[in-house]
Structure 1
Amino acid sequence: MLCQGQAWESKTSRAMFRLFEARKQNRKIVDRLYAEIVEAAREPALYIEMGLADTVMGRFEALTIHVYLILARCRGEPSLQALAQDLVDRFIADLDRSMRELGVGDLSVPKKMRHFAGMFYKRVAAYDAAIVAGDREALGQALAAHALPEATCADAADRLADYMLTRKSSYEALAAENFLRGELSP
């Protein structure tokens, strides 16, 4: 027979186990979503047809665009708020890992991470203002100012804006359950 202390420990252990299992499951979902985001950010058309530079910074821009689009979809949907935060955390962790792989010294990483986080949020604000207003032209201007190299033609910004708006629409058509399963397709 269990005494009160043992029963409490047993209940606490089960609760902690469920919490760890839930976190493990959430991590799997976020990892699946992030893998799909990375795959989308590697689409050759983004670099060949839409003007993103095929460089480390160009890849950052592509990831930023795709992470932003998911965050925009999650906004206003309470069931997706925690997922959105976990996705941002995963993105930041990936940036940190990538910098270290590129040889950035351990002492420099925090400073560079603050810089990249600032760049990310600056772009999110610029893209969001245009998308919320439904202004394709303003979105193209924001992309030209932040994501595209200066030598890129204006048509590239328009094509990238169209791409973003199309992706946004496809994500809006998905049910929240898709995101909660880690799936970006119907």
Structure 2
Amino acid sequence: MFQRLRAGRRNREIIDAIYVDLVERARQPHLYEEAGIPDTVMGRFEALSIHVFLFLRRCRDDAALRPLAQDVVDRFIADIDRSIRELGVGDQSVPKRMRKLAGIFYERVKAYDPAMDAGSGTGRLAEALRPRAVAPDAPEGAPPRLAAYMREAAARLEAVPAAAILAGSLDVKEAT
């Protein structure tokens, strides 16, 4: 019984380590200053959604990583719920807001996934990002910069071995 409790605690530590890493990546200033994501509550949600999406893509073809990917998405949803409550949304409104935000996240996944699969260029992905994650008043060239960042981030995640991810690391340096 105690072994199962320790394993559960270790799993939470791994999930938290990965999620914190994704949050830190989503907070990079260049995403807001150069890549056009608005520095607002919804902009932060968009940046985090992009990173959770990229993590899901990394895990989707590896059966050993799929349960962890689902756990990270669950952690993301729980964090969004907590954030909504901290912003002062009433308890009765939270489920409605959560359904809306979860819908927005999965709509992003549906839009970004085929654009990422469309080849190595940034054009189609930039077009998918423009109405969703990029502010209308973003600097010129912001959507292609954000698309290029996403492609680079996806390539870095692909370079991380599954064993490192299962241990809670998304850092290529730690993985080698």
Q: TM-score range by the shorter chain?
A: over 0.9
Distance 1:143 1:117, change over 3 A: same
The answer to whether the aligner puts 1:122 opposite 2:122 as a matched pair is: no
Query: 4+ runs of 1 displaced by more than 6 Å?
Result: none
The answer to whether the aligner puts 1:175 opposite 2:161 as a matched pair is: yes
1:47 match: secondary structure? helix
Residue identity in the other structure for 1:149: A
Structure 2: distance between partners of 1:183 and 1:148 = 29
> Matches of residues 10-49 of structure 1 in structure 2 within 5 Å?
16-49=1-34
Q: CA RMSD in A?
A: 1.0
Q: Which consecutive residues of structure 2, in runs of 5 or more, have no partner in the other structure?
A: none
Residue identity in the other structure for 2:91: D
Residue identity in the other structure for 2:151: L
Name the structure where helix makes up a greater proportion of residues: 1
Contact 2:59–2:66 under 8 Å retained in 1: yes
Match of 1:68 in 2: 53
Q: Whose radius of gyration is greater, 1 or 2?
A: 1
Contact 2:134–2:143 under 8 Å retained in 1: yes
TM-score w.r.t. the length of structure 2 is 0.94
Contact 2:34–2:139 under 8 Å retained in 1: no
Match of 1:144 in 2: 130
Number of aligned residue pairs: 171
Residue identity in the other structure for 1:116: L
Structure 1: distance between partners of 2:47 and 2:165 = 20
Q: Deviations over 1:11-42 (max 9, x none)?
A: xxxxx333222221111001000111111111
Residue identity in the other structure for 1:25: R
TM-score w.r.t. the length of structure 1 is 0.89
Structure 2: distance between partners of 1:42 and 1:79 = 28
Q: Which consecutive residues of structure 1, in runs of 5 or more, have no partner in the other structure?
A: 1-15
- Measure how far apart 1:154 and its partner are: 4.8
Residue identity in the other structure for 2:108: R
1:119 match: secondary structure? helix
Deviates more, 1:133-142 or 1:161-170: 133-142
Q: Deviations over 1:115-147 (max 9, x none)?
A: 000000000111101111225211001110111
Residue identity in the other structure for 2:49: T
Match of 2:147 in 1: 161
> Matches of residues 49-128 of structure 1 in structure 2 within 5 Å?
49-128=34-113
Residue identity in the other structure for 1:160: L
Structure 1: distance between partners of 2:128 and 2:4 = 41
Contact 2:15–2:71 under 8 Å retained in 1: yes
